[in-house]
Amino acid sequence: MSLIIDDLSFTYPHNQDSTLKNVSFKVEEGKITTLIGPNGSGKTTLIKCLTSDSKYKGTISLNKEDFLRMDRRKKMRLVGYLPQASSSYCSLSVFEVILLGKLLDLRFKPSKQDLEEVSKLIDDLNLSEIALKPYDELSGGQQRMVNIGQVLIKKPSVLILDEPTSNLDISNELEVIDLISQYTQKKNTITLLVLHSLNIASRFSSQIILLDKGKVFSSGTPHEVITKDNIQKTYKAKVDVYLSDDGHTTLHLIESANKKEYNFGE
């Protein structure tokens, strides 16, 4: 199974210039593909094309089935989507928030099997101690794990996660991305992430797509894509790139290539 984006272009209404221009790449199952690129490069727009009914040009297909022609309910069952901003669930418990992920299948009263599946996933995610705790009382890291649990409970074939580690400290960031990595490998899902952390992207991704100005600037392995030259040209930042002791491409930030001196009224 694979997700294929072929010659994808998209233009917002009343905008003369295309936000995405002839973007093509393939996302294979059992591996993480990550979109990177500076702000405004088209990452979020590409995710919208995948997860909404946006009228794009080109083709998005899953197992040769066109996304635009796919039945909406079938698409919702196949694709697990985590947006950047999480919904507010007020005083719903962790258990109830994750159960909402089965909304397509739920009847007026959840079945015994539904409840057992949620309980097992909560246990798998090491959330048992907070299962009955209100969602709005959780830390940011805990909320993100619960949000991911809500996506995983419907057992999607495709995971599309937009900034799954946003606003997390480094420990929670690594825990969340490691969870996604293990799930992708064990369940053989098609997984597409958007990440700002290039070091995290390099460590956990099999394939990286670097977007710039709505186009694919570079694609390939982390070692092929995350280079000093590519980062300086797209992000306008000076960096050192080296291999860590365990063989991962790693960035050391130096400064913005557009560094300025600010007067502040002196």
Average pLDDT score over the chain: 90
Predicted local distance difference test score (pLDDT) of residue 166: 82
User: For 4-15, what is each residue's pLDDT tens digit?
Assistant: 999 999 998 877
Average pLDDT over residues 116-143: 92
pLDDT, one tens digit per residue, over 54-106 is 789 999 999 888 888 888 888 888 999 999 877 666 789 999 999 988 877 66
Lowest mean pLDDT among 49-58, 123-132, 208-217: 49-58
pLDDT at 121: 94
- Render pLDDT for 47-56 as a digit per residue (tens, 0 to 9): 999 988 778 9
Domain spans of the chain, in order of start: 2-256
* Percentage above 90 pLDDT, the chain: 61
Quote the pTM value.
0.91
If one compares 110 and 184, the residue with the highest pLDDT of the two is 184
Q: Residue 33 — very low, low, confident or very high, per pLDDT cuts 50/70/90?
A: very high
Residue 55 confidence (pLDDT): 84
Distance between CA atoms of 79 and 58, rounded to whole angstroms? 20
Confidence of residue 196 (pLDDT cuts 50, 70, 90): very high
Class level of CATH domain 2-256 = alpha beta
